[in-house]
Every structure is written in structure tokens, then in C-alpha cells.
Amino acid sequence: MENLGLLFVFWYGILHAFGPDHLTAIADFSIGKNKKKTMIITVLFAVGHGLTLFIFAKILESYHISENILGFGDVISSSVILAMGVYLLYMVYSDQIQLKKHVHNGKEHLHIWFGKEHSHGNGDKASAFTVGALMGIGGVRGMLVTLGLIEGNSLDLVMVLVFGLGVMTVFVSFGTVILYINKNLLNSKQNLRRVFTTAGLISVVVGSSMLV
């Protein structure tokens, strides 16, 4: 029965990960990145998300917090997605998303970056972890109730790890879709603007609908 319960937890993690806000956030961070960076960003988003879910779920087990206060978690998640969409649209229409082709050892590489100057910082990785953590606040109540009912007792680390594995399975799979877009569609400045505009508009629509 315990194994069956954990299997259900894993399946719930998969369903949770299919939320449009999660997939939108991953797309926003992963578009234009190479294979290694896309996978790292995807995993960091999942880890940040799972870590916040576990911490806040344990807090809610011990302390009663009103529904009005808990509702701010959903507002935070929605606002993050909306802000990311507005930011992407601003970067597109202010022409601050750049594309440059390089040839290394006879093989062509595309470099895509935000801003006027090309840099190789790790800001996007830290941002993916942070956004994943912030968005985890909005999913705490549902996870706590569902997983607690499955096992009939308090939430433990094993349950959260299995839940996180289900989430990561979807996130990594979606990351491969983004990799296909990066490889086959982002081959010109015009296509780059179209893809980021689409991602920005989707983010604005998803974030706004969640807020409403």
C-alpha cells in the first residue's frame, strides 16, 4: 500500500507540473539556450519549486495560516509570470535580444543574449531557481492536502522527493521541446523576435488569467 501511495504521489507531481504557469516559466528561461544550460535551468527550477513546497508545507502542518494570507501565494506566482511576459516583450520591442553566429572548429554555433553586450554570467540559472521557489508558494495548499490524505499522516521528505521526481520528469521532457525550438527555429533575428514575442504574450495571458 505504501508503494502504491508513493506511485500516486509521483503521478500527482506529473499533473502538478503540467500547470501552464510552470511550463510558461520554463519556456521563458530556456528559449535561446544551449542543451546543457537548458537542462540545468530546468532542473534548478524544479529543485527550487520542490524545496519551497516542502518548507512551506511543513510550516502549514504546524501553524494555522488564514486562507486570505495563503492566497497571496497564488498572487505571487501569477505576478511572476506576468512580469516575465512584460519583460520579454519589452526586450523584444526595445531590440535588446541579440543573435550572433560563430564558427568553432568548422561547426556553426548560435549565441543569443539579452542586452547590448554579450556576457556569460549565471544570472539565468539563479533566476530559474528563484522563480521556481517563488512559484512553489502558490502550490503548497494543494500539495499538502493531497499528499497528506494519501498517506494519512504528516508530510515527509520521501513523499516530497517522489513528488519532485514527477515534477522534474515533465519539466525535463518539456525542456527537450524547447531544445527543438532552439535548434530549428532560432536561426535568424526575425524568428528570434517572433518566438520571444509569442513567449511573452503567452506569459502575459497566463499570468493575467491566474490573477483574475
Taking only the tens place, the pLDDT of each residue in 61-84 is 677 766 666 667 778 888 889 999
Q: Of 100 and 170, which is predicted with more confidence? A: 170
CA distances from 200 to 28, 90, 92, 196 (A): 8, 9, 9, 6
Helix (H, G, I), strand (E, B) or coil at 41: helix
**The total number of structural domains that make up the chain:** 1
In the predicted structure, residue 5 carries a pLDDT above the cut 90 = no
Q: Which domain holds residue 23?
A: 1-211
Of the listed ranges 44-48, 99-103, 205-209, the one predicted with least confidence: 99-103
Confidence of residue 1 (pLDDT cuts 50, 70, 90): very low
pLDDT at 82: 93
Q: Of 19 and 200, which is predicted with more confidence? A: 200
Q: Half-sphere exposure of residue 45, counting CA atoms within 13 Å on the CB side?
A: 29
149: left (phi over 0), alpha (psi -120 to 50) or beta: alpha
For range 139-155, the mean pLDDT: 57
Q: Of 149 and 204, which is predicted with more confidence? A: 204
Cell 506529473 locates to 14
Confidence of residue 205 (pLDDT cuts 50, 70, 90): very high
Measured between alpha carbons, how far is 85 from 123 in angstroms, rounded to an integer?
18
Q: Of 18 and 2, which is predicted with more confidence? A: 18
Coarse DSSP helix, strand, coil percentages of the chain, rounded to the nearest 5 percent? 75, 10, 15
Torsion 177-183-185-191 (CA) sign:
positive
- C-beta of residue 172 within 8 angstroms of C-beta of residue 40: no
End-to-end CA distance of the chain: 40
- C-beta of residue 192 within 8 angstroms of C-beta of residue 91: no
Report the chain's mean pLDDT, rounded to a whole number. Answer: 78
- C-beta of residue 42 within 8 angstroms of C-beta of residue 27: no
